[in-house]
Amino acid sequence: MDKRCETTDLKYRTRVGLCPTCAQVARFTFVGEQHWPPQVAQAAGLGPLVHLWVCGSCQTTLTETAAEKSA
């Protein structure tokens, strides 16, 4: 991992954060957005627009949770 490239800017499409699945500090890759109907979003406790990230350590797809909160 190149320290000079460490950034949380979305244009680089990666973030470093603690993965709740594998409990590792991993680099997450931005893979897209998911749109939810308002009722579904509310029931799930999510916003209507959710960013999806893939953990570089365990390859799990996550919604914007640890990756964005700890970035």
Kindly tell me which of 34 and 60 has the beta carbon lying closer to Zn ion.
60
Q: Nearest distance from residue 47's CB to Zn ion, in Å? A: 22
Residues 36-65 that bind Zn ion (CB under 5 A): 55, 57-58
Whole-angstrom CA distances from 50 to 5, 30, 63 are 25, 11, 6
Q: Nearest distance from residue 48's CB to Zn ion, in Å? A: 25
Among 19, 54, 66, 67, binds Zn ion (CB under 5 A): 19
Using CB under 5 A, list all residues that contact Zn ion: 19, 21-22, 55, 57-58
